[in-house]
A and B are shown apart, each in its own frame.
Chain A
Amino acid sequence: MSAAYWRRAMNTGLAAAARPLPLPRAGVAAPVAAAAVDPYADSDAPRWLRFLWRHLAARHVFVLAFVLAFPFVATSFFTFQIAAQSLALGLIALSLTFLGGYGGMVSLAQMTVAGIAGYVVSILGASATEVSLGWPWWAAVPFALAIATACATLIGWLSVRTEGIYTIMITLAIGVAFYYLALQNYSLFNGFQGFQKVYPPTLLGVDWRSPMPFYFLCLALSLAGYLWVKWLVRSPFGIALQGVRDNPRRMAALGFHVTAHRVAAYAVAGLIAAVGGVLFTWYNGLISPNSVGTGWLINVLVIAVLGGMRHPIGAFLGAVVFVLLQTFAIDIIDRERFNLVIGVVFLAIVLFSPDGLLGLWAKLRSRFGPQQALTSPTPRRQA
């Protein structure tokens, strides 16, 4: 049974009919509302509209409205430092969620891939350092994404033959090696100092580093990354990847190339992490070896686990909680012990809910609402 066949079988089943009706909305509703019992029966509506109707729930509209309105209500500090930073970090964590949650491979080198993208942007683009070549952004950014994705593929190619803890070890080793390379190489990485004043370009008369434009830039790319992952895991490739995660031997017996699927997953995750890495470098306005140090390698894992690895939204939830804690823990407790608060919150979340915040949410739902849990990636209802 091929992956495409399997997907078709699931899509044409009871899923659509069994689904509760979404809230009627103005705008989208007009052509479909009358005959909405089975969206497939209505062939008049354009395909994307039917798709939207089928997949859009109240929660999506609500979250979308919230994130779009957020910078207009919040202070510029919250827009930039909390929200935009969370989105950039969330993208990097999303790459790990995709690898770990759907591919079953926990890589600690995702921050390294992000850092490579950040470094390439700094080296090729403009910064306050002499090493930088000063290319325009439209040349530097694609190069950065391409090089980082290529590096991620290489890292994947090196580590896919290992399983579990050995994958973690090998990716950690790669991450630490890159940290020391960046720290000690001066001709390319400028050593401990790294690169200062690495800013996004001013384009179409907009300074993309001022809080609101930067927020929307991060939001657009995060949404793109999120939807891409959502789409990928329903595609034949994604289904096969989940098969590889659950039982590689059986998938191999069915004729799937297990290694190729895993390496491709690393490449996909690499591209997502690279985009996040460029954004995060622009957010900080600088990159230094510390940005790819062990602390950050682990922080990305913490964010992904904190949010929950079973659904792509977990990465962003985890990033928001992480950034809020990093920023405000010092106000809650004595200045010398604020890291304790951060640790205790992480411990509490992981202890009481192994699936992170998403697991917590699922528990609350199963207690207070009759609905099915939110957090399973494989069954049909996750659009």
Chain B
Amino acid sequence: MRVTKRFVVRSLLSAAAAMAVAGGAWAQGAPIKIGLLATLEGPFAAGGADGMRGAELAVMQRGGTVAGRRIEIIKASSNANPDVAVNAVRKLVEQDKVDIVVGPLSGSEGIAVKNYSKTQPQVTFINGGSGAQATTLVDPSPNFFRFNTEGAQWMVGLGKAAIDKGYKRVMVIAEDYAFPYSQVQGFMAEFCRLGGKVPVKAWVPLGGKDYASTIARIPKDVDALLVVLGGADAVNFLNQYEAAGGDKPMMGGSITVSQDVLNYRGKRRDSLVGTISAGPLADSFDGADWRAFVADYKKNFPVDKGGFPSPSLFALVYYTNMKAALDGLDAVRGDLANNHARYRDSLSKLELKMPTGTVRLDSNRQAIGTTFVTEVVKDSKGELTTRVLRKVDNVEQLLGIPRDQFKIGTRDEPSCP
């Protein structure tokens, strides 16, 4: 008797568990499902949230539909670590059954997601914000597209600007992973070619809080520092460098002088004025399309609702990639048959009209686009913002180096001590 009762209770429990499992498999409906992955946790949480806003803006501009089909966005989060990103993407693809994935945000995540994309040929992957060179340069995946330019491309033009400013010897302080390697390469390829020297490169751990030992290593005879740190890390470094009495002029990487840092309210934020950097966007760029984009962003995400005063780099790159995904869908009237064959073809040939200029893809499905060299200035209201020094169009991934001589940036490559 007792045994039977126990048995029945267990059967019920197990049946409930089995039903919960079976309920997970939903049928695919009419709307086009797009998975959207950004870092809502970890060191890039603020940037990830703004990336989401950028992608949402692209969807809003189309009224949430493309070619008569509703767009359903399913969001996922990671913390800038590749294993978490792949888990999140796998859920989007295998559980939520999305047609297209837009994401992830950071470099190592991009490589891991590209590797995963090879196992899912029925889904089209479009990058979010990640900027590692290897993603499209080494062993590219036929269904992974990147409409944003990457880390090395973003720095083209800065080397020349540094020489123009009279910097001959520069120390590099950068985070120790693929994206900063590429940023440093983009800078050094040009800077070294023009005769500049980089005697010391300090690679600091991502998310490090203490830069004292790095600051102690800064040689007396360098003219400037190239600081390639992101978000909160850059703010940490600035505080400590100023506290230690540092006075070298700075140059920034593309994510160093984004809105995260310009919004910083520390005592000595004025010392940021005059910092040159390069990146795929410039707040004060004068193009009409760009100003329309910024106005649209501000209207939809005002500062009191959590938006930034001006869209950040992550908002722009996520906007770019989401817009490319939707424009491509529109071009084929939402036709995703034959494993997205026509859709991918249209993506490869897309001439994407972006607020910053035209973007097209190379044979590795990597963007060829525009880079801005900018300088930090203070506007009339006392807000820090950037001023465009120079606009460089048609920047390619190989930085003008022949393919057989091109080596991906690492800790030691390139080198000109």
Since A77-B91, A81-B94, A191-B176 are in contact, a sample of 6 more A-B pairs with Cβ atoms closer than 8 Å, ordered by chain A residue number, is: A75-B24, A76-B94, A193-B108, A288-B82, A327-B95, A338-B77
- Our pick among A180, A290, A369 for the contact of B5 (Cβ within 8 Å) is A369
State whether the Cβ of B406 lies closer than 8 Å to any Cβ in chain A: no
State whether the Cβ of A335 lies closer than 8 Å to any Cβ in chain B: yes
> Please, what's the 1-or-0 string for B342-379, where 1 marks a CB less than 8 Å from any CB in chain A?
00000000000000000000000000000000000000
State whether the Cβ of A291 lies closer than 8 Å to any Cβ in chain B: yes
Decide if the interface of chain B is mainly helix, strand, loop or mixed: helix
Q: Which one of A183, A327, A336 has the highest number of Cβ atoms from chain B below 10 Å of its Cβ?
A: A336
Contact stretch, chosen from A58-66, A104-112, A262-270: A58-66
Task: Find out whether the CB atom of B2 lies under 8 angstroms from the CB atom of A335.
Answer: no
Task: Find out whether the CB atom of A286 lies under 8 angstroms from the CB atom of B411.
Answer: no
Task: Find out whether the CB atom of B3 lies under 8 angstroms from the CB atom of A73.
Answer: no
B105 → chain A closest CB, angstroms: 14
With A and B bound together, what is the CA distance between A58 and B175 in angstroms? 56
- Our pick among B2, B86, B112 for the contact of A370 (Cβ within 8 Å) is B2
With A and B bound together, what is the CA distance between A73 and B20 in angstroms? 12
Task: Find out whether the CB atom of A192 lies under 8 angstroms from the CB atom of B83.
Answer: no
Task: Find out whether the CB atom of A58 lies under 8 angstroms from the CB atom of B94.
Answer: no
Task: Find out whether the CB atom of B94 lies under 8 angstroms from the CB atom of A77.
Answer: yes
- Our pick among B10, B24, B87, B176 for the contact of A192 (Cβ within 8 Å) is B176
With A and B bound together, what is the CA distance between A335 and B344 in angstroms? 30
Residues of A at the B interface (CB closer than 8 Å) are 20-23, 58-59, 62, 66, 70, 73-78, 80-81, 85, 180, 183-184, 186, 191-193, 196-197, 284-286, 288, 290-291, 326-327, 330, 335-336, 338-339, 368-371
State whether the Cβ of B216 lies closer than 8 Å to any Cβ in chain A: no
State whether the Cβ of B269 lies closer than 8 Å to any Cβ in chain A: no
- Our pick among B77, B81, B94, B175 for the contact of A288 (Cβ within 8 Å) is B81
B82 → chain A closest CB, angstroms: 6
Which A residues touch B205, using CB under 8 A? 180, 183-184, 192
Task: Find out whether the CB atom of B83 lies under 8 angstroms from the CB atom of A23.
Answer: no
Q: List 9 A-B contacts (CB under 8 A).
A: A73-B18, A78-B21, A78-B95, A184-B176, A192-B176, A192-B205, A193-B177, A336-B40, A369-B5
A286 → chain B closest CB, angstroms: 6
Given the interface pairs A73-B21, A75-B24, the reply to whether A285 lies near B115 with Cβ below 8 Å is: yes
Which A residues touch B178, using CB under 8 A? 193
B: number of interface residues (CB 8 Å): 42
Which A residues touch B24, using CB under 8 A? 74-75, 77-78
With A and B bound together, what is the CA distance between A73 and B176 in angstroms? 44
A331 → chain B closest CB, angstroms: 9
Which A residues touch B9, using CB under 8 A? 368-369
Task: Find out whether the CB atom of B2 lies under 8 angstroms from the CB atom of A81.
Answer: no
Task: Find out whether the CB atom of A290 lies under 8 angstroms from the CB atom of B81.
Answer: yes
The closest CB in chain B to the CB of A186 belongs to: B411
Task: Find out whether the CB atom of A58 lies under 8 angstroms from the CB atom of B3.
Answer: yes
Task: Find out whether the CB atom of B2 lies under 8 angstroms from the CB atom of A20.
Answer: yes
With A and B bound together, what is the CA distance between A135 and B77 in angstroms? 36
A322 → chain B closest CB, angstroms: 13
- Our pick among A192, A284, A327, A335 for the contact of B177 (Cβ within 8 Å) is A192
State whether the Cβ of B391 lies closer than 8 Å to any Cβ in chain A: no
State whether the Cβ of B137 lies closer than 8 Å to any Cβ in chain A: no
A208 → chain B closest CB, angstroms: 14
With A and B bound together, what is the CA distance between A81 and B90 in angstroms? 8
State whether the Cβ of B339 lies closer than 8 Å to any Cβ in chain A: no
With A and B bound together, what is the CA distance between A20 and B2 in angstroms? 9
- Our pick among A21, A77, A288, A338 for the contact of B90 (Cβ within 8 Å) is A77
- Our pick among A74, A196, A290, A339 for the contact of B111 (Cβ within 8 Å) is A196
Given the interface pairs A196-B115, A288-B83, the reply to whether A371 lies near B176 with Cβ below 8 Å is: no
State whether the Cβ of B22 lies closer than 8 Å to any Cβ in chain A: yes
B41 → chain A closest CB, angstroms: 7
Given the interface pairs A193-B108, A335-B77, the reply to whether A21 lies near B3 with Cβ below 8 Å is: yes
The closest CB in chain A to the CB of B84 belongs to: A290
Which B residues touch A196, using CB under 8 A? 82, 111-112, 115
State whether the Cβ of B6 lies closer than 8 Å to any Cβ in chain A: yes
